[in-house]
Amino acid sequence: MKSIILLAPPAAGKGTQSALISEKYRIPHISTGDLLRNAVRDNNPSAELIANLINSGSMVNDEIVLALLKMRLNQSDCDNGYILDGFPRNVDQAIAYEKILKDLNKELGIVIFLDLDKELALQRIIGRLSCSNCGQVYNSMYEETKPKVDNQCDNCQTKLSRRDDDNEKTFNTRFEVYLEKTQPLIDYYEEKGILYRINSGISKDYTFNEIEKIIGGLYD
């Protein structure tokens, strides 16, 4: 199984699709957002700086992200591939990531780009809800992704919450950063011939079916 990088604007479904891929193909889902939030939770020496940057919608320093990521990729469950969600975000990070892979004797794999219109992305951000217990994500703006009971997780009945950075002001900052930094990264991977594009604005099932076609095409 090849490792997979998922690239997308905010709210395009990287986390949702990563979880689906992880479950079907039995490879770990590595979200740099989760790595950073865990560092804050565990009172990492950089915890205060990380928290301030996340809440303002700014990017965390590369040195911090790379150190956390390298430790995670060196764990044995990554030996047969993994899904990388939220990293790299720019070409400099991509180059640094490839150096980590060389150090760890791992292949680059493929890149899947989940494209999404800005207005639709904003709707997804404003309505996003998550379960702090099991990690399930919902969206109150769409019938197909609403919880069965308002503000309650379908799986474990835990009260749902919104992330502090799920607001329009932070979204606009994140989206502008995405436009500035991520488009060159998309071009970078396209030139390498490993980039696959999917319209993620249709539905969750459509997006996953397209991902399955890509993965299936690599191994059939």
Contacts of 194 (CB under 8 A, 6+ apart): 108, 109, 110, 111
Decide the pairing of beta strands 160-161 and 128-131: antiparallel
- Cα–Cα distance, 128 to 131 (Å, whole number): 11
Catalytic residue among 2, 162, 163, 204: 163
Question: Half-sphere exposure of residue 56, counting CA atoms within 13 Å on the CB side?
Answer: 9
- Local structure of 16: helix, strand or coil: helix
Contacts of 217 (CB under 8 A, 6+ apart): none
Are residues 81 and 28 in contact, defined by beta-carbon separation less than 8 angstroms?
Answer: no
Helix axes 47-56, 32-41, angle to 10 degrees: 130
- Known active-site residue 174: yes
- Known active-site residue 72: no
- Known active-site residue 146: no
Residue 83's H or E segment, with its range, is strand 83-85
- Known active-site residue 128: yes
- Active site positions, annotated: 14, 89, 128, 163, 174
